[in-house]
Chain A
Amino acid sequence: MARNALNIEIPEKLDGLGALEPYQGVWTKLQKGWMSEQTVPPAIKARMPHTSKMCDSLEEAILKCNPQDGMTVSFHHHLRSGDDILVQAMTILANMGIKDIILASSSLTSAHEPILPFIEQGIISQIYSSGIRGAIGEACARGIMKKPFVIHSHGGRVRSVQTGKIKIDLAIIAASAADEEGNATGSHGPSAFGSIGYAMIDAWYAKQVVVVTDNLVDYPCVPPSIRQNYVDYVVEVDSIGDAKKIASGTTRITKAPLDLRIAKLASEAIIHSGLFKNGISFQVGAGGASLAVAKFVREAMKKHEIVGSFLLGGVTSYGVNMLNEGLFRAIFDVQSFDAAVSQSIMNNPYHIEIGAALYANPFNCGCMINKLDIVVLGALEVDVNFNVNVITGSEGDVRGASGGHSDTAAGANLTIVVCPSFRGRLPIIKKKVNNVVTPGDSVDIVVTERGICVNPKNIELEQKLKKAGLNIKKIQDLEIEVDKITGQPDPIEHTDKVVGVIEYRDGTIIDTIKQIKE
């Protein structure tokens, strides 16, 4: 057992993962300017001119890819909770008798719960994902899989694919429009879902690539977000999922008073941070208080006549509106959250679709998060050292997503975590979090309804915010305050068995997830 830089015990190796490298610090691995791990070459294929890639069914396409026991199958999660393709494909593989499958989906949503029996039966024996929720998350925390699951960040996933940690045998890429050669996009069609950013690395590196669409268009499919030179087979199906759950309408700003108060405080911190000026770049999450910050920032930008450079990340129609109003000059979009966004990607050249590598992979000459001024992130729990948990719930179950949390926190000049100080009776500001996804060294301030906590490394920022009259509290004092209100929860009971690991974006292990005692 070694201890990582957060003093968390990390096993030297685990069956099914091999040797583990303990987390050493936010920048330690990047400082030398090169990645120490070797990359593996992407598959190089050949194809005779004027031959057809079209298959009659998903089953035929999968058969042509010669599926084997122990193979790694990858998916993207841009169809969110409307996705039907992952379950269809895994069912086909299960019916073919394939087992020990390593499932590498960029994330898993509630739509994927039908694969739970495959996990229980050992058809799926390992999962790589940025997020796991619901019944699958509970099962993962109980330790029903043979091999430990891996939670990675969006940027970290790219590195894992390039180093062969995730060695994709078959990538199945759902698209809302595609042509017969495999040029594909999510930006139009009845099941449009916007950016297809997470699938780009899969298309490049996978041994075999199948594009599945419910909207086969005349050649060429424009824009070719996924390009034909990476695609082996194309399948047209009736439906890639439930269009209403894939993307509908526009995202609304929360009306919950608590979230709005937290968002207002966060926006005041932004305005007085010294970063609120022309050329500002900005990213917010899609939910609750985080998105609501955008509302207050938008008002302030108009009032102070500020024009920002770019919006990044998961993009909502709210961000698109800010682009259209001229508040930002561009959007870089790795993942879209509602229907209105797809049209903007399609029609506005300043709304730019990007892959996960350009978004957040630390190992290249500069991903977009390196250029980010401000990011506003949520949290399930925050500890007195500013470490953030976004993956395990209060009962130890896996119920969240790492996503771009640790990536953007590392990149942004000002990383703001917004959360209530407690939810129901559960304290959110705690002495110790169940699991660390984002290290406190990359978090600058935590904003709660009871005040703002500034990471002690930011002495200047704290002075600026105090001078502006904001309610600044020591995070230790806030923890005590919250503890008096909620009482101290009984600790979660774990066994010693490690059922999953949490990878930091550089590939080191920042924490392990232990089996829940039942």
Chain B
Amino acid sequence: MPIKIVILPEKNMQPVHKAQAGTFESSDIMILIEPLDNDGDNHIELSSSVGKQFKDQINRDITELLQKYEITGARIIAKDKGALSPTIKARVETAVLRSLDKQQGTLK
């Protein structure tokens, strides 16, 4: 049996520092996450090459992931080049974990 490592979400977490995941390549999304001073709402700034057709679905994917980790007080800058839903979720999850110091990233 392969061992599955599960990182359990904690309650009401705010990013510790800036983090990013993803690339600007076609079919990918670049996620930048940083703590806000407000201690409350999350702000998502989305730009997408398929925004006209998919902006609601992309926002929903990002929001769901933030809710899963109960992230608060974060700014998310998302630059999408037509990533599929699983890609978006994976990139957001990685950025979140990096910002919480639970995974090594590129901006630390």
Q: Which residues from chain B contact A489 at a C-beta distance below 8 Å?
A: 50, 53-54
Known: A424-B26, A425-B84. A487 touches B54 (CB 8 A): yes
Q: In the complex, are the beta carbons of B57 and A426 less than 8 A apart?
A: no
Partner pick for A424 among B52, B56, B81, CB 8 A cutoff: B81
Q: Which residues from chain B contact A485 at a C-beta distance below 8 Å?
A: 84
Q: Which residues from chain A contact B57 at a C-beta distance below 8 Å?
A: 487
Q: Which residues from chain B contact A423 at a C-beta distance below 8 Å?
A: 82
Q: In the complex, are the beta carbons of B53 and A426 less than 8 A apart?
A: yes
Known: A424-B49, A425-B84, A426-B82. A490 touches B26 (CB 8 A): no
Closest to B26 in A: A424
Closest to A425 in B: B82
User: Residues 389-426 of chain A: 1 if any B CB is under 8 Å from the residue's CB, otherwise 0?
Assistant: 00000110000000000000000000000000001111
Q: Which residues from chain A contact B83 at a C-beta distance below 8 Å?
A: 425
Q: Which residues from chain B contact A395 at a C-beta distance below 8 Å?
A: 52-53
Q: Which residues from chain A contact B53 at a C-beta distance below 8 Å?
A: 394-395, 425-426, 489-490, 492
Q: In the complex, are the beta carbons of A424 and B85 less than 8 A apart?
A: no
B12 within 8 A of A: no
B67 within 8 A of A: no
Partner pick for B27 among A394, A424, A490, A492, CB 8 A cutoff: A424
**Taking each of B49, B54, B55, B57, which has the highest tally of chain A beta carbons within 10 Å of its own beta carbon?**
B54
User: Residues 47-86 of chain B: 1 if any A CB is under 8 Å from the residue's CB, otherwise 0?
Assistant: 0011011111100000000000000000000000111110
Closest to A487 in B: B57
Closest 4 CB pairs of A and B: A424-B82, A489-B53, A425-B82, A395-B52
Q: What secondary structure prevails in chain A residues at the interface with B?
A: loop
Q: In the complex, are the beta carbons of B82 and A490 less than 8 A apart?
A: no
State A485–B54 Cα separation when bound (angstroms).
Answer: 13
A229 within 8 A of B: no
Q: In the complex, are the beta carbons of B82 and A487 less than 8 A apart?
A: no
> Could you say which interface size class chain A belongs to?
10 to 19
Q: Would you list 29 pairs from A and B whose C-beta atoms are within 8 A, ordered by A residue?
A: A394-B50, A394-B52, A395-B52, A395-B53, A423-B82, A424-B26, A424-B27, A424-B49, A424-B50, A424-B81, A425-B27, A425-B50, A425-B53, A425-B54, A425-B83, A425-B84, A426-B50, A426-B53, A486-B84, A487-B54, A487-B85, A489-B53, A489-B54, A490-B53, A490-B54, A490-B55, A490-B56, A492-B52, A492-B53
User: How near does chain A come to B48, taking the closest CB pair, in angstroms?
Assistant: 9
State A486–B83 Cα separation when bound (angstroms).
Answer: 9
User: How near does chain B come to A399, taking the closest CB pair, in angstroms?
Assistant: 14
**A contact residues vs B (CB 8 Å cutoff):** 394-395, 423-426, 485-487, 489-490, 492
Q: Which residues from chain A contact B27 at a C-beta distance below 8 Å?
A: 424-425
User: How near does chain B come to A421, taking the closest CB pair, in angstroms?
Assistant: 12
User: How near does chain B come to A427, taking the closest CB pair, in angstroms?
Assistant: 9
State A424–B27 Cα separation when bound (angstroms).
Answer: 5
| Chain B residues numbered 30-58 whose CB sits less than 8 Å from any CB in chain A | 49-50, 52-57
**Taking each of B26, B49, B50, B84, which has the highest tally of chain A beta carbons within 10 Å of its own beta carbon?**
B50
**Taking each of A424, A425, A490, which has the highest tally of chain B beta carbons within 10 Å of its own beta carbon?**
A425
Q: Which residues from chain A contact B84 at a C-beta distance below 8 Å?
A: 425, 485-486
Q: Which residues from chain B contact A487 at a C-beta distance below 8 Å?
A: 54, 57, 85
Other than the given A424-B49, A490-B56, A492-B52, 8 more pairs (CB < 8 A) read A394-B50, A394-B53, A424-B26, A424-B81, A425-B54, A486-B84, A487-B57, A490-B53
State A423–B27 Cα separation when bound (angstroms).
Answer: 8
| Chain B residues numbered 81-95 whose CB sits less than 8 Å from any CB in chain A | 81-85
**Taking each of B52, B56, B85, which has the highest tally of chain A beta carbons within 10 Å of its own beta carbon?**
B52
Q: Which residues from chain A contact B56 at a C-beta distance below 8 Å?
A: 490
User: How near does chain B come to A359, taking the closest CB pair, in angstroms?
Assistant: 35
Q: Which residues from chain A contact B50 at a C-beta distance below 8 Å?
A: 394, 424-426, 489
Closest to A484 in B: B85
State A395–B82 Cα separation when bound (angstroms).
Answer: 14
State A114–B83 Cα separation when bound (angstroms).
Answer: 34
User: How near does chain B come to A141, taking the closest CB pair, in angstroms?
Assistant: 13
Q: Which residues from chain A contact B81 at a C-beta distance below 8 Å?
A: 424
Closest to A493 in B: B52
State A425–B27 Cα separation when bound (angstroms).
Answer: 7
